[in-house]
Structure 1
Amino acid sequence: MAFVMVLSWSRQIYLRFFLDARMDSFLAGHAGAFAAWSGLPRILLYDNLRSAVLERQGDAIRFNPTLLAFAAHHRFEPRPVAVARGNEKGRVERAIRYVRENFFAARKFVDLDDLNAQAALWCAGPAADRPCREEPTITVREAFAREQPSLLALPANPYPCELQLAVKVGKQPYVRFDLNDYTIPHTHVRRVLTVRADPRQVRILDGADLLATHVRSYDRGAQIEIVAHIDALVARKREARHHRGLDHLARAAPASHTLMLRAAERGANLGNITAHLLRLLDRYGAAELQAAIEETLASDAAPHQNPVRLALERRRESRQIPPPVTVNLPEHVRSKDTLVTPHRLDIYDQITGGTDELA
């Protein structure tokens, strides 16, 4: 979207380009023009575009409430032009035609920032050096120097022109905004958060607390991630798996709780011990694991999975039981014993038409 604002007397032009025509871009264009001119007009004329006028019935006008709030903050009067009254918006239409013919035609640029940088130089250069329409003996630059002191002063605090909306987060730590997903801390899932976005960044807040700041993406279906968010989620899932494993062990072999407490006192890797004990539980069963852990605790052996494994092996050998070896067969071997229901032989007569003659 090309945003063009022109002062009525001096014809000073402000030009800026955006990637969309949303309300936040519309207001950001205003704020950019006011900053470039170090002031603003007392009255702004608008064509009856949706960003300014939501509904109009004759002289009854319903303004966009966001524009009204912006105008109240800057103390200017928004005024729509009359319908089908071309003389009231001729200045803007001539300025747009001037931009199209003298700036945009055959211009090359790398990206949006480059285009806006060129637009700023053009507004301060060739566009300002053209003759002023009200006084052809002076330039637009000289006319603006006379007009600028009569502009309203800028407010002390800038108006927040960011796009703001509430988003509902599901069970995944991502916020969907503008067809892209942005990460948030996993501690804030299943909540309603606030997204504040400007052309360069996306901020995600929980009330007044800032949760994340991302570079804004204009792709579709992209995942914009902060590494710390992903690492924290992975650590949380690893911790959850560890606690689930401990609970499973404690239910199957209650003596494992005492073994893990002694291992923790020695500073052992509890996650590694838990994983090995769970594999021993699958191979030997709960009763054998419980007995082996009790034997380990009663001895002077270290609270570790290796003494437990050796105790399990001694118990197995004493009973002359073969080792519990897990055999992973390939798919074609595992499926060879699949039950297949044969067809009845009488259906073949139906296929051949009920005759025994050979073709």
Structure 2
Amino acid sequence: MTISKEQEAQILRYHHVEKWRVGTIAHQLGIHHNTVNRVLSQAGLPKAVRSQRPSMIDPYLPFLTDTLSRYPTLTASRLYQMVRERGYPGGPDHFRHQLACYRPRPRPEAFLRLRTLPGEQSQVDWGHFGKLTIGRAEHALMAFVMVLSYSRRIFLRFFLGAQMANFLRGHEAAFTAWNGLSKVLLYDNLKSAVLERRGDAIRFHPTLLDFAAHYRFEPRPVAVARGNEKGRVERAIRYVRDHFWPARQWRDLDDLNAQAEAWCNGWAMDRPCPEERSLSVRQVFAQEPLLALPENPYPTDERVEVHIGKTPYARFERNDYSVPHTHVRCTLTVSASPGAVRILDGGQEIAHHVRSYDKGQQIERPEHIEALVQLKRQARRHSGQDRLAQATPASRTLLSQAAERGDNLGTITATLLRLLEDYGAAELEAAINESLAQGVPHPNGVRIALQRRREARNQPPPLGIRLNDERARQLVVSPHDLSGYDQLQAIDTETDGAAEAMYDDQ
């Protein structure tokens, strides 16, 4: 326990002036008696000997010390079961407290300060910096950190997740920023680097091995439980947390990475180099030789095979991206960069979208949807025309002449299909022929011909009127002779004239 200088002065005054005992001082100041003993020992006073009271564990101490000497890692719960079987009457909490005083302590290990040659080694690790919400999706905000072990130059780049593609993109961005790379890259036992480890036998991730072969560096993992071997990158992450991250304001991920790049090239480069305190990191880095970069960068785009169902969309990262309708029921390849999603059919690109980091979104290109809509319209129109031509062959001539006039064939087809349902194939065929004979290749001429033929036969209106009463369906409405209305109008005119004459006479 750490206490202030004022408390240390109080402990010494209470002990020398007030002559208080250790337990009294600890009780009054609310601290542990071991802290009081430590302060008194540092002042040159002998440690106060506290009276030891008999404990329930005393009869079992020979058994416990012997067992712990042979099995030093045996858990307290297992030892408690063993002493309970031998008659120990105490509870588990008291037993654990007493056992801690007798458990053998491992001898502390001393570590040598590791030094590396210029350009020899870099250390790589991820740092977790909370979560970032984009729309309805929540992403882990991960910081990729690489540090040169000699000059201690830091590279920092933030990503949404620690996937292998982001891991490789972080490497390439660091190599580009430094215009080179070290001979050895040291990794913790990350899943992105080490797939399996059995003692000294290591199975690296095949993608990382291919990446290392491309840039000609040696990937090397640290030993198990040897965090001191990668202390430089851990201190670099701590340095980022203490000097870059606090009170940082940023709009989006691009803005955050722009600020991180400026910080790495400015403040972090001008700090004193731990290896040479008289020089800055910038000055030491200028003297550090690095391996040259190859001409072509390593492809870091994510590639995923997707199966397109009956709807023209490819599912990638909880979002749907549109594809041409000609590629439904096919297996395609999604190639994704941080800003774009490309959908490939073999080596041919069939769709290109802006990448979305939201979830549950449909990202569409207007031409994909419009092509599908036109296809459906044409399919419906051709289906109706085929049905109409099969029932009334004369409709082909009418549609052909209507097309020459520039009329809308879809509307004409739909109207003729309704007339076909109302009047039947025979009547519609005859009406179409009559309308064509009069030079009217239009549904209005066909409708007039159908009405004239129905009235001539004194037939009821077609069932297409959809009357609910059966008697109304059978009702025949004949047009009334309007000549009587003309006679009434003539009589009304004569009457009005006579009334006007009488009014003038008066």
TM-score higher than 0.5 here?
A: yes
- Distance of 1:13 and 1:191 partners within structure 2: 46
How far does the alpha carbon of each residue in 1:262-309 deviate from its partner, in whole angstroms, 9 at most, with x for none? 333343322221121112112212222122223334x14232222211
1:319 to 432, 448, 457: 457
Report how many residues are paired. Answer: 326
Q: State yes or no: 1:179 paired with 2:315.
A: no
Unpaired runs of 5+ in structure 2? 1-141, 469-506
Secondary structure at the counterpart of residue 465 of structure 2: coil
- Distance of 1:69 and 1:302 partners within structure 2: 75
Which residue number corresponds to residue 229 of structure 2?
88
Which residue number corresponds to residue 301 of structure 1?
439
Return the letter of the residue paired with 2:454.
R
- Distance of 1:305 and 1:102 partners within structure 2: 80
Q: Structure 1 residues 305-314 or 178-187, which shifts more?
A: 305-314
1:146 to 276, 287, 312: 287
Q: State yes or no: 1:224 paired with 2:351.
A: no
Which residue number corresponds to residue 112 of structure 1?
253
Q: State yes or no: 1:191 paired with 2:330.
A: yes
Secondary structure at the counterpart of residue 373 of structure 2: helix
- Distance of 1:159 and 1:305 partners within structure 2: 66
Which residue number corresponds to residue 203 of structure 1?
342
Which residue number corresponds to residue 448 of structure 2?
310
Which residue number corresponds to residue 77 of structure 2?
none
Q: What percentage of aligned pairs have identical amino acids?
A: 66
- Structure number with greater CO (CA < 8 Å, separation at least 6) is 1
- Distance of 1:171 and 1:63 partners within structure 2: 40
Which residue number corresponds to residue 353 of structure 2?
214
RMSD across aligned C-alpha pairs, in angstroms?
A: 1.5
Return the letter of the residue paired with 1:43.
V
Return the letter of the residue paired with 1:81.
V
- Distance of 1:142 and 1:282 partners within structure 2: 90
Q: State yes or no: 1:61 paired with 2:202.
A: yes
- Distance of 2:435 and 2:218 partners within structure 1: 85
- Distance of 1:68 and 1:315 partners within structure 2: 86
- Distance of 2:241 and 2:205 partners within structure 1: 28
Secondary structure at the counterpart of residue 287 of structure 2: helix
Unpaired runs of 5+ in structure 1? 330-359
Which residue number corresponds to residue 274 of structure 2?
133
Which residue number corresponds to residue 347 of structure 1?
none
- Distance of 1:270 and 1:241 partners within structure 2: 12
Conserved in 2, the CA contact under 8 Å of 1:174 and 1:183?
yes
Which residue number corresponds to residue 345 of structure 1?
none
1:21 to 143, 147, 162: 162
- Distance of 2:204 and 2:427 partners within structure 1: 79
- Distance of 1:317 and 1:76 partners within structure 2: 95
Conserved in 2, the CA contact under 8 Å of 1:254 and 1:290?
yes
Secondary structure at the counterpart of residue 88 of structure 1: helix
TM-score (norm 2): 0.62
Conserved in 2, the CA contact under 8 Å of 1:301 and 1:307?
no
Q: State yes or no: 1:124 paired with 2:262.
A: no
2:384 to 235, 238, 245: 245
Return the letter of the residue paired with 1:35.
T
Which residue number corresponds to residue 97 of structure 1?
238
Secondary structure at the counterpart of residue 89 of structure 1: helix
Specify the structure having the higher radius of gyration (Cα).
Answer: 2
